[in-house]
Amino acid sequence: MEIKKNYSLKSLHTFNMDVDGKYFCEVASVAELREALQFAKSQRTEMLVLGGGSNVLFTTGFEGLVIKINMAGKEVVREDEKYVWVKSGGGENWDRFVAYCVDHGYGGIENLSLIPGCVGAGPIQNIGAYGVELKDHFESLEFYHFNSGALEVFEREDCNFGYRNSIFKNELKGKGVILSVTLKLDKIHVLKTGYGSIQQELVKLDKDVYTISDLRNVVTSIRQSKLPDPEEIGNAGSFFKNPEVSAQTFSSLKVDYPDIVGYPIENGNMKLAAGWLIDQCGWKGFRDGDAGVHAKQALVLVNYGSASGKEIYDLSEKIKISVKEKFGVNLEREVNVV
């Protein structure tokens, strides 16, 4: 393992800010991870773990050790007539993992196609899209504790999964790294097609029976039509979480804003569409220099070229204030700000 100095992080995060890490290394094994941790300890410096870099906004360079996680590999660890348990290294690309599962007939996560990032970041965010969340098919993960050097297996009930949330974003944030994830997937496929425009897009295929491959292709197409490609325009996907309000608050908002978009959730509250709120405040398509809001999806903040992280952050603050003033609703960032 090689420790590099003053290393450019521009190509390692999807906002594409031209920032450096004082120290940088890539690790593909527990042994290399331990070596990196020992270096950080010897230098008395902070650490930042990077996976796919798809959920981070750098407002400045990082004055410490940036550790790029490259743990790879996929394998079936168990199966029966109905299910198959697939284990993946935390450094595997998430969408390529979904493609692997779909190609092998393992169903359940096809709705999560084209979500950027790596497998190990999935449980941290409890990633979700089109009516499916990672927790729905989560079995377990392996977590490495920085302080003790212990490896711990977390099962679903240990992870405190919530909407875009988990124990790894709270109590265990910055205290370790996810080495691998095991999912329980379906051999007998039950397609979830009732969310967004999925069903109407499937109908266009003019088939009697739809497959998980069809669903993956449709989800991919929908996402590509709405969201900018980070290779072309720097972004981190959804910048804000969809806010949760009480049913009573939603009813009150509905009186003043009949077209407000909301969905009932399990606890009786309502989930509002953050993109709709931001759009109603006039932000969709806004641009100030190279910092802006995407023209097709107000939930996505973008770097058109040379915007700084601070400019993106300041724009997000203005958006939060305007939504609060207009609707009385607090927006929470989904991205991690460094």
Residue 238 annotated to the active site: yes
Residues 6+ apart with CB under 8 A from 28: 70, 71, 72, 91
**Alpha carbons 225 and 217: distance in angstroms, whole number:** 12
The DSSP bridge partners found for residue 89 are 180
Residue 334 annotated to the active site: yes
Residue 308 annotated to the active site: no
Q: Three-state SS for 292?
A: strand
Count Cα atoms within 13 angstroms, Cβ side, for 149: 9
In the 8-state DSSP scheme, what is residue 165? B
Catalytic residue among 54, 238, 308, 316, which?
238
**Alpha carbons 338 and 317: distance in angstroms, whole number:** 15
Of the candidates 21, 117, 115, 114, the one whose C-alpha atom is nearest the C-alpha of residue 69 is 117
Catalytic residue among 113, 140, 164, 166, which?
164
In the 8-state DSSP scheme, what is residue 301? E
- Report angle CA 216, 72, 115 to the nearest 5 degrees: 30
- Active-site annotation, residues: 164, 238, 334
